[in-house]
């Protein structure tokens, strides 16, 4: 018999407004993200600026808001000045993070112009690895200062007399990681981040600053890192970052499908740590989280086969981290978005890492097509419906055991009240059991069902490829029924779904 999961939603049980920054992404100078990804001058769809129009269309369809740039590990060795000024004068350099050759054909101006075409907002990272306060200040002055100075005149000469007006800035990247250029202790990084933040605010008080938290909740310094760094920076920054990647290990699909439990715990631990620092400091400020790297990433593949070792052959735009995502990966991405929505009161920004070719929802072939990976769909469909207030669902769900996370509820749910609309996102985490979902919506004024989509497949390993780009797409779920303010729906095993409802009498919305 199919088990029933019971959910109740009430418009007055609000978690908080869902900020558009929750649907951010990330482009690093890594592999084929920039070169032979978004930028391929010889491609038939490329405009005069060298950017592929087919990729721009897909990025727009995906609905990303902010885009973090230019790294990632790359930023910790990056000299931002290399990427501005006349192209023919820009240096070619070795990139120590990814063992590649960086030609600097794309830099701040080109990337900002590309972002305008995808309707995205720049989230810029400064190098606190090999550089420090001075370079961060120079970049901020170059990007944001309205005053004519030597640096801003260079910006104008580069074609941008008006300031770029970059709002959100990352104070380095993953400085807790021993792999990071300039990696340092929490105490040393905390002091550097505080000095940089203080100086940047002196130049532009309107910036929003993200201080580095842990590069994973499984780092040995996790927890103490956040505490120490925030003790130095609490009143100077707006967000602390979280980074995390999940993948299926040793064929343990049940644990993998429950990865969002790990994301929930990560967020809640960072919130608790930040709140403890606030208490020590007698601060009334609420620290927000920027979950600015999250995704499924099969890191073991990179460790074992993709690492480039011979410095004589560090290539331009190598094929790195080009994970091909299957149905299970898409369900997990959908469930991670559910976790983010359910923490909308504290997670104010997030970036799916990354956007094109590198652990990405969009893939391209040089000279050939661009296509949507399986993970594209839950992101795009959630982003399209993410404008509104996240509601706190009450859930009664059967549970099952997982090796990594213990007993987990079979179903996870998030709901966004968009005023005229209500969207319900659901994941069935069970690898083998279908489930009936029953949602009590009696607390709402009269609703009507406008659609239900499910992403599932009898073959959990099915994926979209160059040869078969539409093998996996979401489909209308014919089991959805709505009557007397009750919604019911069958959720196939290992599936992600979204249900759309509409308020019939919108005048009744308070």
Q: Which of 28, 40, 141, 293 is catalytic?
A: 293
72 touches ligand AHR (CB under 6 A): yes
Whether 293 is catalytic = yes
Q: Closest distance between ligand AHR and the C-beta of residue 289, in Å?
A: 16
β-bridge pairing 100-102 and 168-171: unpaired
* Residue 473, burial from CB neighbour count under 10 angstroms (0-12, 13-18, 19+): middle
Region of residue 358 (phi > 0: left; psi between -120 and 50: alpha; otherwise: beta) = beta
Q: Are 142 and 148 in contact (CB under 8 A)?
A: no
Cα 229 versus chain centre, distance: 22
Stretch that binds ligand AHR, among 35-43, 71-79, 110-118, 187-195 (CB under 6 A): 71-79
- Alpha-carbon distance of 123 to 211, in angstroms, equals 13
Q: Tokens 């249900």 correspond to what residue?
A: 499
Nearer CB in complex with ligand AHR: 173/214: 173
- Least separation in angstroms between residue 174's CB and ligand AHR is 5
User: Residue 409: in which H helix or E strand, if any?
Assistant: strand 406-409
Instruction: Kindly tell me which of 142 and 294 has the beta carbon lying closer to ligand AHR.
Output: 294
Q: Is 454 in the site for ligand AHR (CB under 6 A)?
A: no
Give the one residue of 152, 354, 428, 497 binding ligand AHR; rule: CB under 6 A. Answer: 354
Q: Cβ atoms within 10 A of the Cβ of 163, count?
A: 16
**Which residue reads 């956040």 in tokens?**
226
Closest approach, Cβ 493 to ligand AHR, in A, equals 30
- Paired tokens of 91: 């240096």
User: Coil, strand, or helix at residue 8?
Assistant: strand
Q: How far apart are CA 79 and CA 67, in angstroms?
A: 19
User: One of 21, 28, 121, 174 is an active-site residue; which one?
Assistant: 174
Residues 375-404 that bind ligand AHR (CB under 6 A): none
**Of the candidates 174, 176, 262, 500, which one interacts with ligand AHR according to CB under 6 A?**
174
- In the list 65, 73, 144, 228, the residue contacting ligand AHR (rule: CB under 6 A) is 73
Beta-carbon contacts of 484 under 8 Å, excluding residues fewer than 6 positions away, are none
CB of 453 to ligand AHR, least distance (A): 29
| Residue 173 interacts with ligand AHR (CB under 6 A): yes or no | yes
Q: How far is CA 235 from CA 48, 211, 221, 285, in A?
A: 45, 11, 22, 8
The one-character DSSP state at 302 is I
- Of 353 and 493, which CB lies nearer to ligand AHR in the complex structure? 353
For ligand AHR, the binding residues in 261-300 under the rule CB under 6 A are 293
By CB under 6 A, residue 349 contacts ligand AHR: no
The yes or no reply on residue 333 touching ligand AHR (CB under 6 A) is: no
Using rule CB under 6 A, residue 71 touches ligand AHR: yes
Work out how close the CB of 297 gets to ligand AHR at its nearest, in angstroms, rounded to a whole number. Answer: 7
Name the residues annotated as catalytic. 174, 293
| Residues in touch with ligand AHR (CB under 6 A) | 28, 71-73, 173-174, 215, 293, 353-354
């Amino acid at each position: 018999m199919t088990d029933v999961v019971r959910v109740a939603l009430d418009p007055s049980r609000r978690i908080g407004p869902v900020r558009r920054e929750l649907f951010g992404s990330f482009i690093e100078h890594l592999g084929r993200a920039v070169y032979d990804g978004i930028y391929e001058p010889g491609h038939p769809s490329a405009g005069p600026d060298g950017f592929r129009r087919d990729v721009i269309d897909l990025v727009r369809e995906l609905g990303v808001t902010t885009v973090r740039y230019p790294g990632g590990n790359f930023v910790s060795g990056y000299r931002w000045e290399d990427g501005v000024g006349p192209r023919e004068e820009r240096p070619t350099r070795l990139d120590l993070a990814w063992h590649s050759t960086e030609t600097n054909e794309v830099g701040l101006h080109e990337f900002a112009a590309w972002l305008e075409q995808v309707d995205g907002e720049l989230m810029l990272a400064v190098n606190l690895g090999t550089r420090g306060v001075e370079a961060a200040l120079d970049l901020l002055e170059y990007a944001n200062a309205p005053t004519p100075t030597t640096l801003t005149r260079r910006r104008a000469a580069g074609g941008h007399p008006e300031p770029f007006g970059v709002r959100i800035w990352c104070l380095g990247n993953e400085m807790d990681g021993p792999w990071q250029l300039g990696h340092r202790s929490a105490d040393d990084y905390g002091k550097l981040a505080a000095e940089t933040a203080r100086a940047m605010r002196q130049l532009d008080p309107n910036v929003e600053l993200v201080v580095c938290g842990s590069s994973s909740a499984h780092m040995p310094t996790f927890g103490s890192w956040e505490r120490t760094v925030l003790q130095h920076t609490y009143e100077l920054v707006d967000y602390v970052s979280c980074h995390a990647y999940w993948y299926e290990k040793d064929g343990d699909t049940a644990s993998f499908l429950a990865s969002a439990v790990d994301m929930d715990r990560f967020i809640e631990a960072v919130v608790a740590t930040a709140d403890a620092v606030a208490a020590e400091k007698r601060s009334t400020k609420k620290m927000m989280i920027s979950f600015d790297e999250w995704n499924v990433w099969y890191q073991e593949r990179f460790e074992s086969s993709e690492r480039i070792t011979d410095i004589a052959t560090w290539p331009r735009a190598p094929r790195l981290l080009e994970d091909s995502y299957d149905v299970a990966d898409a369900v997990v991405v959908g469930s991670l978005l559910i976790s983010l929505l359910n923490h909308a009161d504290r997670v104010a920004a997030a970036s799916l890492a990354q956007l094109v070719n590198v652990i990405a929802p969009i893939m391209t072939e040089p000279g050939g097509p661009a296509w949507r990976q399986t993970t594209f769909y839950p992101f795009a469909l959630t982003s399209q419906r993410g404008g509104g207030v996240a509601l706190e669902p009450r859930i009664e769900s059967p549970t099952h055991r997982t090796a990594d996370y213990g007993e987990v509820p079979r179903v996870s749910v998030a709901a966004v009240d968009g005023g005229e609309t209500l969207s319900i996102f659901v994941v069935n985490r069970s690898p083998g059991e279908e489930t009936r979902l029953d949602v009590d919506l009696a607390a709402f004024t009269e609703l009507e069902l406008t659609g239900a989509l499910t992403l599932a497949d009898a073959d959990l390993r099915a994926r979209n490829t160059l040869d078969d780009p539409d093998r996996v797409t979401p489909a209308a779920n014919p089991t959805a029924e709505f009557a007397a303010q009750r919604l019911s729906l069958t959720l196939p095993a290992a599936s992600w779904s979204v249900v759309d409802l509409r308020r019939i009498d919108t005048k009744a919305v308070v």
